[in-house]
Amino acid sequence: MDGRAQDDGRVYQASGDQHISEHHHYDGGPQAPAGPDSVRRPAVGRPPLVLRDRTEVLDRLRSALTAQSGDDIFVLYGMGGCGKTAVAHAFFQTATAEYGRVGLWVNATDRASLRSGMLAVAADRGAADGELLAARNGYRPAADLVWRYLASSPDPWLLVLDNADDPAILSDGSWLRTSPRGTVLVTTRRAAPRWWPGAELQHIGVLPREDAARVLRDLAPHTGTLAQAAEIADRLGRLPLALTLAGGFLSHQVIEPWTMDVYGRHLEEELPVQLLDRGADALSDADPRHLVGQTWQLTLDAFAARGLPEAVDLLRLIARLAPEPLPLSVLNDDGISAVLPRGRAESALRALLDHSLVERVDVGDNAGLRCVLGHGVLLDSVVAATPAAQAPVLDATAGRLLGAALPEVPDAGPYDPRLRLLAPHVRALLRRTGEPAVVAEVLEVATRLATAMHRTGDYPSAWETVGAAADIAARTLGDGHRAVLAARSRAGRVLFRLGRYTEAEESLRRTLTAQRQRFGADDPDSLDSAHGLQLVLRNLGHAEESLTLLYATAAGRQAALGPWHPLTLRSRSSILAALGAAELTAEDGRTGLLSLPGQCAEHLGVDHTVSVGARHNHAWALFQLGRLEEADSEIGEVTETYLQRFGPDYPIALAARQLQARTRTALGHTDEGIALMDDVVARRAQSLGQDHPFTVASRDLLRRLRAERP
């Protein structure tokens, strides 16, 4: 058999001279994205009022646009907080407004963000949904797809890869390339030339004294003279981030306004702040980064003195997460009350925004998702200065807020951009916390997040999230912890969906063995791994072992969860799809298996994913039993449901349409069946590639239908 089904799928081969495969999948099939995250608007919050002392760098960047040449890569490097992103933002605005370039902005902080952003770039440059789906699911190289569309772009472009502080991420998959159609600009803390072969490096350092003073005067013009501002700037090391925070503080003192002299006297106090700036290259002997901690600490002290300690608490909570856009909806939950009263969260956030301690950014097209963003250097310094006794409560609260943003039981549904936004925060929190109970709770959130990604078809992001989370948590909890094993189980199922069957089998066998030893064969976690393993075994050709394991899983789930639990019904539905005609007749006589769709509808509802999947498998069973009119009617209704829910390009919809082509042809509507199969073959070739087993099987079926046309 050439075909390979996935999850609850089953590959069937007809006897005689036919060789035809069907694919069925009901474990939350891939979803069409509602639209790619916006790459046309930089997610950088408020730009500076005036960009000081970056004329030489900007002139060099503009010269690349003036020359109308391509194949350029520029790397802006420097310590955190020195204004690399601000320079990139200014150049982005110039390139788009004055030179007519298409501006494309991608966050390159981690693999998931980079991959998501670059696929959005491909979509912007004309990639079709099917091609994007294939790249997202690992069926074709994602970087090749992106750069093919960049190279064929009708418009010249500027691509900004912001916060690329781990250059290895760009190397993996060859994301950083050149094209005669555009210019690439990278911002990073890593300056070593080995990371940027062929690129032109531009150092972004601290500001000259006069320009640094003018930054303070831009922000707080009435608090002191230019000379006084220069004194403050010297004490802050002339670091743009520190200057921005200081200026924001000075400009917002109303009841008891501070002058620059007063501010300077407070800066003379030594504060126990050790700033963390992971990944930065040493740029000078007199590194002024520790002064950022002093700057924000003065602001927080003022909050406490003025009766707004909640702002301090909120910043410490946000600092437990990643320096990435965080949906504001995450903070709008009762769970935040463990750190600060929910009713005070609004005023606390406004205070942080007003003083430039965090920024508001909108992510996505149109109105987008409203998010809050903190600078990495600032957040690291806040973490370093947070009392150790507060860390467990902050970590536990952050984990519960992230968990509350996810459904308790993720199901198939439309693409949700919030999922990818949450992923870096879950990983960052796992790295921050050291309390075993908190680690276990956050790991459960990470597994649930990966499951939600899995069931919207974002398999690479699901793998990156749960694989990294399990590795981090295992250092604290050990490999045999229940939460770690559950994460490994989900990782194995994601490997299966990525087409890495051998790895998936090894991972799931190892996980299932450990779970059975620790919790027993009928434990729900063991049964979940068993269900995943039987899918892999079936696709590897171990049909007998797969069916034995599936029967045991269905029986175990019925005993542990009850006969009408969705997982029990899902396993029984898989049995419905796994049997031949004679076996179906015998099984129906024993257990009434063919009545399963009605039982699902009665106990779960007719629109439940498991109910629709059971009807799909039931239609296949009817077709095998020769009940063609019934099979055709049922698969027609199922197909319409899938098309409305998932769109026309996704495997679950294509599998249903392929079965519909067979039923229509068997009933004598040959031309209609061939037309359906023509469309299925074209869509599978586009989304999976010409040589994918599903495409090959569909093409064989189409050829057979044409040969048998009267």
| pLDDT tens digit sequence for 303-327 | 777 778 899 999 999 999 998 889 9
Q: What confidence score (pLDDT) does residue 64 get?
A: 86
Residue 626 pLDDT > 80: yes
Contacts of residue 630, Cβ cutoff 8 Å, sequence gap at least 6: 622
Spatial distance between the Cα atoms of 298 and 302, rounded to a whole number of angstroms: 6
User: Where are the chain's structural domains?
Assistant: 55-203, 270-386, 389-541, 576-707
Question: In the beta sheet, which residues pair with residue 161?
Answer: 106, 186
Q: What's the per-residue H, E or C state across 455-474? A: CCCCHHHHHHHHHHHHHHHH
What pLDDT sits at residue 256? Answer: 67
* pLDDT attached to residue 567: 95
Matching fold, domains 270-386 and 389-541: no
Mean pLDDT estimate for the chain: 84
Please tell me the distance from the alpha carbon of residue 116 to that of residue 417, in angstroms, as a whole number: 10
Q: What is the CATH number of domain 270-386?
A: 1.10.10
Q: Which fold has domain 389-541?
A: 1.25.40
What's the rounded Cα separation, in Å, for the pair 463 and 372?
Answer: 26
pLDDT band for position 302 (cuts 50, 70, 90): confident
Asked if 454 contacts 528 with a C-beta cutoff of 8 angstroms, the reply is no
Residue 483: pLDDT band (50, 70, 90) is very high
Confidence class for position 71, pLDDT limits 50, 70, 90:
confident
Q: Does domain 55-203 have CATH number 3.20.20.70?
A: no
Measured distance CA(85)–CA(386) in Å, rounded? 27
Q: Looking at residues 338-363, what average pLDDT do you find?
A: 86
List, for residues 30-50, the tens digit of each pLDDT value: 333 333 357 888 877 666 666
**Mean pLDDT, rounded, for 435-463:** 91
Q: How far is CA 564 from CA 170, 358, 551, in A?
A: 48, 48, 16
Cβ–Cβ contacts within 10 Å for residue 395, how many?
A: 24
Better pLDDT: 352 or 440: 440
Confidence bin at 295 (pLDDT 50/70/90): low
Give me the residue label for tokens 């507060």. Answer: 390
Distance, CA of 170 to chain centre: 17
362-386 pLDDT, tens digit per residue, is 876 544 688 998 877 678 778 888 8
pLDDT band at 113 (very low <50, low <70, confident <90, very high): confident
User: What is the per-residue burial (b if ≥16 Cβ within 10 Å, else e) of 652-682?
Assistant: bbbbbbbbbbbbbbbeeebeebbebbebbbe
Contacts of 178 (CB under 8 A, 6+ apart): 70, 71, 72, 73, 184, 198
pLDDT tens-digit series, residues 172-221 = 778 999 999 999 999 988 877 888 888 999 988 878 888 889 988 888 88
Into which CATH architecture does domain 576-707 fall?
Alpha Horseshoe (1.25)
Pinpoint the alpha helices (H) of 15-110.
Answer: 55-66, 84-97
Report residue 464 as tokens.
């990156």
For the chain, give the percent of residues with pLDDT over 90.
49
Q: What is the pLDDT of residues 12-29, one digit of tens each?
A: 333 333 333 333 333 433
Q: Is the pLDDT of residue 455 over 60?
A: yes
3-state secondary structure 204-233: CCCCCHHHHHHHHHHHCCCCCCHHHHHHHH
